[in-house]
Amino acid sequence: MGLLEFLEQTALSTFIRESSSLLAFPTFLCMHTLGLSLVVGVNSVVAIRVLGVASSIPLQPLKRLYPFIWVGLILSFISGIALAMAKATTLMLNPILLVKLVMISCAAPIMWLLEKKVFRTPGFKETEAGSTKIMAVALLVLWTAVMIAGRLIAYSGTIFGL
């Protein structure tokens, strides 16, 4: 608990939590939402296309969307850490947040593997890509669950009494 109390007392945490202008927390929250929107939105487009929806759209040009996914993940990661630090003693013990972090830890490597398999494998053929379809479904499920968990964190005080 000492580390969580230390994190909660840092200047950044105090600024986010107690900013007199009331802009710090909403700014970090907007950054987190924007980052997650990039990750989930763009990733969903790629995953849905890998599943064969809108097959008239060529798959290879979607490779150019991956930098947006990674920027979104970094933005979500940095802003999420800052938001968690602001209320570290309660948030870092929240089971919903912990489940969300586990799901992100599963989704990020799958995203990387999907990108590698679909866009960096010479001679990749969509018709022979059973494992990529499994990855695409897994990503759609995981990112949907991450978004739901993120929303539930706001209500976890009433759920868990935190």
Closest-CA residue to 69 (of 38, 45, 48) = 38
Tokens representing 152?
């539930």
User: pLDDT of 136-155, one tens digit each?
Assistant: 999 999 999 999 999 998 88
Whether 77 shows a pLDDT value over 90: the answer reads yes
pLDDT of residue 136: 95
Domain of 18?
A: 2-160
Average pLDDT rounded to a whole number, residues 26-36: 93
DSSP 125: -
Q: How many domains does the chain have?
A: 1
Tokens representing 111?
């995203």
Give dist(CA 150, CA 121) in Å, integer. Answer: 34
- What residues contact 99, with CB distance under 8 A and at least 6 apart? 149
End-to-end CA distance of the chain: 15
Its pTM stands at: 0.86
pLDDT of residue 89: 85
Q: What confidence tier does 8 reach under pLDDT thresholds 50, 70, 90?
A: confident
Tokens representing 83?
């938001």
